[in-house]
Each structure stands twice: as structure tokens, then as C-alpha cells.
Amino acid sequence: MLRTIIIDNDTRSVECLKSLMDKLNDFEIIGAFSNPFEALKAVVSKDVQVVFIELNIPGFDGFDFIRNLSDSIQVVVISDVKEYAIEAFELEVLDYLIKPISQQRFLKTISRLYKLNAISTPSIERSYVYVKVDKKMVKIYHDQILFIESVGDYIKIVCKEEVFISNSTLKGFTSELPNDQFLRVHRSYTISIPRVTALEGNTIEIGSNRIPVGRQYLSEARKSIIS
């Protein structure tokens, strides 16, 4: 069961989503909130896995809310308008649904969610990852990776000997890596924890590379690197 919350001040939209979820029997709806601040408390205390969120709630910056969520939480935006879609996908949301939400369109979103969950827990035994580079799949060993950087609509996988460019998202690629060895430290960076050579303020050093640490990632980064 996927622990889920809905953030929306549109009662009809909330009831529609609940009805769609009830048909699948795979969702545990923790709550539906019109107050985003109450929703945030639930996210923290209930170990939420999926958030459906309406961005256009008066007095609420939905983008700020998304930025401060853990990378492990999948976000689906629900909206009456398309104008926020580009900015939402830049934050690596799972999907962007336009109201009214049809069952067929909702099922496409859920299919993405199932697929992501299927690959999000890599085998402990596997010491490598495959990534599409140009037209071929390249095997990269975990211990060769220094860090990964998101640059526009592609990522740079910086290794000891070379750099690979792939048309992937940072969030998606990071989810395929073991979370005891790799850590998201910025909206644009994931680092290899064993490769860190220094941590000073909000900057990580990996050899000669200096990598910024986002404010919301700083506490977790210090704990993971120093412990």
C-alpha cells in the first residue's frame, strides 16, 4: 500500500481522486488537506510516499512545498491549467494532471508510479548500473562514480576516468543507485558518499570538484558523510 496524501482546496477534485484510488486498492489515503501546513505535518509524521498536490491554492507556494519534500516522495501535480507544467517538471514531479481527471489518464500516472517503485530498490548484490549513452547501454560500476550533475534536460555522470552524458533525470538515475552509497545534496547534484574528501559549510569537495549543498539537504548530508 502506498501511503498517500492529497493537497487541494477543491472538494470535487479530492473526491474524484479518492474514488479513482479506491478502485485500485493500492493506496492508503492518509488524508486530504486544504491547508498545506497541516499536510506538511502529515508528510513528516506519517512517512508519506506519494503526494497529489494542487499548486493554485491561495496564500500557498506549491513549488516551494515540492522543493522541500524528500526525494523519496513521488509528487503528482493536479491543476486546472497547463501553465505551471514546465516549472513542475523541472522539479522532477512524476506527472502533471489536468482537471477533470479521467480514469484513463489517471491509470497512466499510476503505471509510471508502479514502474518507478519497481526499480527504486536496487539489489544489494549489484555493484553497477546501466545507463543509456547515445544509442547504447553502458555499464558503470558504482565505485567509479564521483558525482552526478543535472544540466538542463540531461545528466552528467562524472567518473574517475571519464564523464558520461545521458538523457535521464537526476531523480530517476539516483533512484537506481544504492542509498547507502549515494546521496542527493542539491536539486542539481547527487554525490558518492565514499568519494567525499571534505565538507566545509555548504560545500562538498570530491577531489578537485566543489559541489554545493542545498539548504534543505544540508542536515542529511552532514549526518550521512560524517557518521
Domain ranges of the chain: 2-119, 128-226
DSSP label at residue 194: G
Q: Hunting for cell 530517476 — which residue is that?
A: 172
Q: Hunting for cell 512524476 — which residue is that?
A: 94
pLDDT of 26 above 70? yes
User: Minimal CA–CA distance to 146: which of 138, 154, 156?
Assistant: 156
More confident residue, 227 or 207: 207
Lowest mean pLDDT among 41-55, 103-117, 162-176: 103-117
Residues whose CB falls within 8 Å of the CB of residue 211, separated by 6 or more in sequence, listed in order: 147, 185, 186, 189, 191, 203, 204, 205
Q: Hunting for cell 498536490 — which residue is that?
A: 53
Band (124; pLDDT cuts 50, 70, 90): very low
User: Minimal CA–CA distance to 163: which of 186, 181, 146?
Assistant: 146
- Tell me, yes or no, if the two domains 2-119 and 128-226 fold the same way: no
Lowest mean pLDDT among 51-55, 121-125, 133-137: 121-125
- Mean predicted confidence (pLDDT) in 195-220: 94
**Cβ atoms within 10 A of the Cβ of 176, count?**
16
Beta bridge partners of 137: 132
More confident residue, 108 or 97: 97
DSSP label at residue 15: H
Indicate the pTM of the whole model. Answer: 0.59
Using only C-alpha atoms, the chain has a radius of gyration, in whole angstroms, of 19
pLDDT for the residue numbered 181: 92
Band (152; pLDDT cuts 50, 70, 90): confident
pLDDT in tens, 57-98: 888 889 999 988 888 899 999 999 999 999 999 888 999 999
- Mean predicted confidence (pLDDT) in 100-107: 90
pLDDT for the residue numbered 117: 66
Element (H, E) at 191: strand 189-192
Name the packing angle between helices 11-22 and 103-119 (round to 10°).
60
pLDDT of 135 above 90? no
* Whether domain 2-119 has CATH 3.40.50.2300: yes
pLDDT of 119 above 50? no
C-alpha cell at 188: 542539481
pLDDT of 123 above 70? no
Cα distance between the two ends of the chain: 32
pLDDT for the residue numbered 112: 84
Band (8; pLDDT cuts 50, 70, 90): very high
CB 206 within 8 A of CB 146: yes
- Mean predicted confidence (pLDDT) in 9-31: 91
User: Percent of the chain scored above 70 by pLDDT?
Assistant: 95
Residues whose CB falls within 8 Å of the CB of residue 174, separated by 6 or more in sequence, listed in order: 71, 148, 182, 184, 190
User: Minimal CA–CA distance to 75: which of 99, 97, 101, 44?
Assistant: 97
Beta bridge partners of 136: 133
Domain 128-226 CATH (choose: 2.40.50.1020, 3.40.50.620, 3.40.120.10, 1.10.287.990): 2.40.50.1020
Band (136; pLDDT cuts 50, 70, 90): confident
